[in-house]
Amino acid sequence: MHIGVFADIEGSFGIWRMRQCRMGTREWQYGRACLTKDVNSVIQGAFDGGAEKVTVKDTHEVGFNCLIDKVDPRAEYIGGHYIKPSLFGKITDLDLVLYVAIHAASGTEGSFFPHTHYGIFSEVRLNGKRVCEMDIYGAYLGELGIPIGFVSGEYIAVKQALEALPWAKSVIIDKRKETYTSGEKSFRYLKEGRVLLQQTAQEAVRHASQMQPLVIPGPLHFEATFRTQQLADKFNTWDFKQTGEKVEWESENMINGFEMLNKLTFFPKKIYPYRKPLTFLMRNYFRVKSTWFAPKPNPEEAAEC
Ligand SMILES: [Zn+2]
């Protein structure tokens, strides 16, 4: 069994504020250490549950958040974004994905760093219903035949994910500062939490045959509302239907619909023909930058990470 451990960062144990997720900050360096520990717990659980091979896919921002030299060496690590065979790289032979450290959908009140796909959107709807990333990425992976069988993150993020993926195993993670800055109590919470990640990942892999690829039958109608009309004007270089800050498009399935979302988000029409060499350059640039030129970590008063 080949297991994919996909990593976002907002929903990690140890993370309580936005700067800890912002690339290039000293607080991010702390957040990266937190995320790497969560990822390693899930890798351990995957092997305990019967994985023969584990591949980690780093997905937050430019896709280099884990501390690569600290990732369990038994797993293969894919950093950065790709064009082919998928945005996530070569993943078509995965049997199951475990998604670590997720966050809530754009527009979710009272949640930690809520966004869907990218911070420019205040809301993304699919066939009239507000969606989170697990709906979109889950259905994209689903059309490739790959189920998501595990999620971890704050309560509301997990709740939204489980509406799309009711079969998935889950771990809920606290986002309050005092949970991580209260000495002995915090140590215990982190220690027990990471054991829970390991056990739950193990359980998900053991029950891999019960996990289902998410398929949302087409046709699909997407509505992406930008935070401002200015952003919508700037990003909609593709002449998708636009009313004020809302941009809409149709697709027959999620693979194409997601491609259109990525055109809107990352690839202006003029850049699109060069997207392959560009992503190649970006991957190498950010791999070197985040490995060799990373800032010194700011421990953030945390008991431990
Ligand atoms: Zn993220």
pLDDT score, position 105 = 95
SS3 label, residue 246 = strand
pLDDT score, position 299 = 76
Beta bridge partner(s), residue 99: 6, 151
Distance 119 CA to ligand 1 centre (A): 9
Distance 304 CA to ligand 1 centre (A): 22
Distance 170 CA to ligand 1 centre (A): 18
- Strand-strand pairing, 76-78 and 148-153: unpaired
Distance set, CA 92 to CA 24, 69, 95 (Å): 31, 25, 9
What amino acid is encoded at 245 in this protein?
A: E
Edge-first strand order for the sheet with 220-226 is 129-130, 121-126, 220-226, 246-251, 241-243
Distance 60 CA to ligand 1 centre (A): 4
Q: What secondary structure letter does DSSP report for 197?
A: H
Report pTM.
0.95
Distance 121 CA to ligand 1 centre (A): 14
Distance 63 CA to ligand 1 centre (A): 9
Distance 240 CA to ligand 1 centre (A): 26
Burial of 269 (0-12, 13-18, 19+ CB in 10 A): exposed
Distance 62 CA to ligand 1 centre (A): 10
Distance 250 CA to ligand 1 centre (A): 26
Distance 249 CA to ligand 1 centre (A): 24
pLDDT score, position 238 = 96
pLDDT score, position 266 = 92
Which two structure tokens, joined as six digits, stand for 45? 């659980």
Distance 8 CA to ligand 1 centre (A): 5
Distance set, CA 198 to CA 37, 57, 280 (Å): 11, 18, 33
Distance 293 CA to ligand 1 centre (A): 21
Distance 93 CA to ligand 1 centre (A): 24
Walk me through the domains of the chain, giving residue ranges and CATH numbers: 2-120+129-214 (3.40.50.10780)
Nearest to 4 by CA among 150, 117, 136, 116: 150
Between CA 241 and CA 50 the distance in angstroms is 47
- Neighbouring residues of 53: CB distance < 8 A, sequence distance ≥ 6: 1, 2, 3, 76
Q: Are 140 and 254 a contacting pair, CB within 8 Å? A: yes
- pLDDT of the chain along its 305 residues, tens only? 999 999 999 999 999 999 999 998 999 999 999 999 999 999 999 999 999 999 999 999 999 999 999 999 999 999 999 988 888 998 989 999 999 999 999 999 999 999 999 999 999 999 999 999 999 999 999 999 999 999 999 999 999 999 999 999 999 999 999 999 999 999 999 999 999 999 999 999 999 999 999 999 989 999 999 999 999 999 999 999 999 999 999 999 999 999 999 999 999 999 999 999 999 999 999 998 988 888 888 778 887 76
Burial of 174 (0-12, 13-18, 19+ CB in 10 A): middle
Nearest to 14 by CA among 195, 173, 217: 173
Alpha helices in 24-78 (DSSP H): 26-48
- ∠ CA 223-57-269, nearest 5°, is 40
Distance 10 CA to ligand 1 centre (A): 6
Q: Are 127 and 37 a contacting pair, CB within 8 Å? A: no
Distance 197 CA to ligand 1 centre (A): 19
